[in-house]
Each structure stands twice: as C-alpha cells, then as structure tokens.
C-alpha cells in the first residue's frame, strides 16, 4: 500500500484540531475538526496526524477526557467504514484500564486546559510571537462549571475580552488595568502579554483567587511581589475584593486607567455593589481627592499612577484631565464590561442602576469587534457577547 503524505501541521484545519484538543473542547468538536482535516472523513493520514502531533504526550491530558475522545473517534471511523489505526485501539484499551484503577483512588477535581489564540498571517501580533502565530496559556480550571466555584471555569466573556485585548493592544498597553471578578486569570495574562503597565486582578472568592494565583505562576508571572520574573512579562497583583465590602478608600487607591469585567452581570443581588464599585473606580474627582491624601507609603510604590490636575469638561466630555507620572495628560478611566445576556431583566437592571448612578454606558458590540482568534472553539461564539464601554458622566 502506498504511504500517504503526512498532513502539514501548519494547515488551519490541523491547527484547529490540535488547539481544540488542548483546550479540551467537546469530543464532537474534535471529530468535526478531524473530518475537516481529511476532507470529510477521518482518514488514516488524519489519524496519524493525531497520534504524532496531538497525542505525542498523552500523559498531559485529563485521562477521562482523552478516553472519551478516543472512544468517539474509533466509533466514528468504524461507522464511516474506515480503517482505525491499531495504535488507537491500544491507547483506548490502556485508558479503560487506567481509569478503572484511577476511580478507586481520589479524583482531582481540577484540570489543565490550554487556550491557544491563533493569529492570522501578517498580523501585527506576530511581533510578539513571531515564530508560531500561536499564543497558548495553560490554565487550571475545575472540571465542572457548575461545581460551585464559578470563578474556576473559563466563561465566554473572558475569551472575548482576551481576543479584544490581543486585537487592540493599544487600548491596554502602558495602562494600569484592573479587573473585577477575574476568575481563572486569562484576561490578566493577556493584559500582561500586551504590556499593560500594571495588571491588578481581583475576585471575591478565596478559592478562585488561589486558583488564579496558581495560573499566573503557571504562566511565569510573579504574583507575590508584582515584580517581573523575566523581561517579557508584566507585573500582576491579585486582590481579594468582594464588591459588597470593598471600601471606598481601597477602591480609590487602585486608580485604574482601564477597568475590565467579564461575565460579572448575572446576580441581581450583587449589581448595586458592582455599580457602586464602577462609580468609585471611574470617578476622576474621587481619584484626584484621594491622590491629595496619598502618603509616601501609598500602595503605588513608584508613584507611577499618581494623578493630579484639574478636570476639564469644556466640551462636555472628561478628557486628558490629569497628569501621569511623566507629566503627560492622562485620559479619563474607562471600563470594558463583556457579558452574555442570560436574563434580559438582570441586564436591564444593571443598565438602570448605571443610569441612576450617572454612568455613561455605551454599547460597543457592533463597533469594536476583536479578531476571531479562537475559531477552533465551537463552544464559544463572539456573537453571543455584548460589550459595554462605561465612563463616568
């Protein structure tokens, strides 16, 4: 039998298949990518690609997930009357045994997903990852999204904000970026990647915070001191910050240029607290008065984000009102909040609270679109996400 030529791993369909497996997309998604690689069927050539490039280190995967994928793949090839490579049967047999053994012991409820952002040819992002066109972040998550610790799962809006950050780095680079309800920390990793001057992540759940710190370390960011571990990464701080109990002073001390929030609009009980938080974080006047009171021992060790200067509303919009550390005018702080609208009443409640609090909420869903860097993820659709830009009126 003539040997078929090996598949080129740089083909988009091959990159999608590999990325989907690393991100632990559902088996149906992997099967669909595998079919695309083989022009409609999972040929021996595709199977060989999977063995050589996707499963070369099967120990890296969560065993029950891989077992399920192998089972579906074998069933699909058999169903198509194709020929299953022997190695697949062998690997599947190994997993059946190992998982039986495993189930007797204690199961770890955390898994490692690897989220890859795939950049198109000629993208300026190539300057930061010139060789691969792929940026991959390993992230520890909980197995089950509904296990209770919602912050240990990757929610679609954080994928969206990550795409936004990587597509429009100019909105975040050299800025102090502060995220609320940061969950696993993916947005923070992207902010550090585009060189935000400082990244502060926060969450009100302690186990989520511990998991977030773990993920930052996993991606070579130093969390404890906020000092860079190597030159390519920014400093990242993690704060325990429940919206209900965050004090005004604590919030004023942060003085962000950009506030971010992904999938944080879902619990009506929390929304008044969330809006209070935004009002304080986005209010320039608050910040200016708090700056006056900053002691030399203030949290901003290097004085980098100390703002002073008068507000200017001559044209009806706050802009360039304060001076940054280098004397350059600083723009008024802005929040980018991304969300999936699961309950329109909750979303409208958030809008009405924002309106009452004199926040300016602009819907950017149609005007600020990120690149599609996660096309391989069939479980995530950019179109499901709403993007708000919020400023203080």
Q: Judged by CB under 6 A, which of 188, 204, 324, 333 binds ligand SAM?
A: 204
Site residues (CB under 6 A) for ligand SAM, limited to 206-265: 208, 242-244, 262-264
Between 19 and 182, name the residue whose CB sits nearer to ligand SAM: 182
Q: Judged by CB under 6 A, which of 203, 330, 354, 371 binds ligand SAM?
A: 203
CA separation for the pair 21, 27 (Å, rounded): 8
> Does residue 389 sit in helix, strand or coil?
strand
Site residues (CB under 6 A) for ligand SAM, limited to 137-156: 150-151, 154-155
Give me the least distance between CB of 246 and ligand SAM, in Å please.
8
CA separation for the pair 135, 115 (Å, rounded): 8
Between 39 and 242, name the residue whose CB sits nearer to ligand SAM: 242
Strand residues in the chain grouped as ranges (E)? 110-118, 134-142, 176-180, 198-203, 236-240, 258-262, 322-323, 329-330, 334-340, 359-363, 385-392
Site residues (CB under 6 A) for ligand SAM, limited to 268-327: 270, 273
Give me the least distance between CB of 159 and ligand SAM, in Å please.
8
Between 379 and 393, name the residue whose CB sits nearer to ligand SAM: 379
Q: Judged by CB under 6 A, which of 38, 169, 183, 188 binds ligand SAM?
A: 183
Stretch that binds ligand SAM, among 101-109, 181-189, 286-294, 297-305 (CB under 6 A): 181-189
Q: Judged by CB under 6 A, which of 19, 47, 158, 391 binds ligand SAM?
A: 158
Give me the least distance between CB of 336 and ligand SAM, in Å please.
12
Give me the least distance between CB of 103 and ligand SAM, in Å please.
29
CA separation for the pair 329, 309 (Å, rounded): 9
β-sheet bridge partners, residue 177: 199, 258
* Crossing angle for the helix pair 12-22 and 27-37, to the nearest 10 degrees: 160
> Does residue 206 sit in helix, strand or coil?
helix
Query: Does residue 115 touch ligand SAM according to CB under 6 A?
Result: no
Give me the least distance between CB of 163 and ligand SAM, in Å please.
12
CA separation for the pair 277, 298 (Å, rounded): 20
- CA 113 vs CA 55, 121, 339: distances in Å: 15, 25, 22
Which has the closest alpha carbon to 372: 120, 126, 178?
Answer: 120
Binding-site ranges for ligand SAM (CB under 6 A): 150-151, 154-155, 157-158, 181-183, 203-205, 208, 242-244, 262-264, 270, 273
């Amino acid at each position: 039998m003539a040997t078929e030529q090996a598949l080129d791993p740089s083909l988009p369909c091959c990159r999608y298949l590999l990325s989907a497996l690393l991100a632990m997309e559902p088996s149906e998604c992997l099967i669909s990518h595998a079919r695309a690689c083989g022009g409609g069927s999972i040929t021996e050539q595709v199977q060989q690609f999977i063995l050589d490039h996707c499963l070369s280190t099967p120990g890296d995967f969560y065993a029950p997930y891989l077992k399920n994928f192998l089972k579906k793949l074998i069933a699909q090839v058999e169903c198509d009357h194709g020929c299953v490579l022997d190695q697949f049967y062998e690997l599947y047999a190994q997993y059946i045994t190992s998982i039986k053994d495993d189930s007797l012991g204690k199961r770890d409820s955390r898994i490692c997903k690897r989220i890859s952002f795939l950049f198109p040819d000629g993208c300026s992002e190539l300057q930061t990852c010139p060789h691969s066109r792929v940026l991959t972040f390993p992230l520890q998550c909980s197995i089950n999204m509904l296990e209770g610790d919602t912050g240990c799962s990757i929610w679609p809006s954080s994928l969206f904000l990550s795409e936004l950050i990587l597509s429009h780095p100019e909105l975040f680079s050299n800025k102090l970026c502060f995220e609320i309800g940061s969950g696993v920390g993916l947005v923070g990793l992207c902010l550090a990647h585009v060189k935000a001057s400082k990244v502060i992540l926060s969450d009100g759940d302690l186990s989520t915070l511990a998991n977030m710190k773990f993920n930052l370390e996993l991606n070579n960011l130093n969390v404890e001191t906020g000092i860079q571990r190597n030159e390519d990464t920014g400093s990242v701080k993690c704060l325990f910050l429940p919206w209900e109990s965050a004090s005004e002073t604590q919030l004023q001390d942060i003085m962000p240029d950009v506030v971010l929030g992904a999938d944080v609009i879902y619990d009506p009980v929390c929304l008044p607290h969330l809006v209070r938080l935004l009002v304080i974080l986005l209010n320039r006047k608050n910040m200016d008065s708090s700056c006056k009171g900053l002691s030399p021992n203030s949290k901003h060790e290097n004085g980098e984000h100390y703002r002073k200067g008068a507000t200017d509303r001559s044209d009806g919009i706050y802009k360039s009102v304060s001076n940054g550390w280098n004397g350059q005018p600083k723009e008024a702080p802005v929040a980018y909040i991304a969300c999936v609208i699961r309950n329109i009443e909750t979303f409208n409640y958030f809008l009405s609270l924002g309106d009452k609090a004199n926040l300016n909420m602009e819907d950017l869903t149609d005007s600020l679109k990120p690149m599609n860097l996660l096309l391989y993820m069939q479980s995530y659709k950019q179109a499901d996400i709403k993007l708000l830009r919020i400023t203080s009126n």
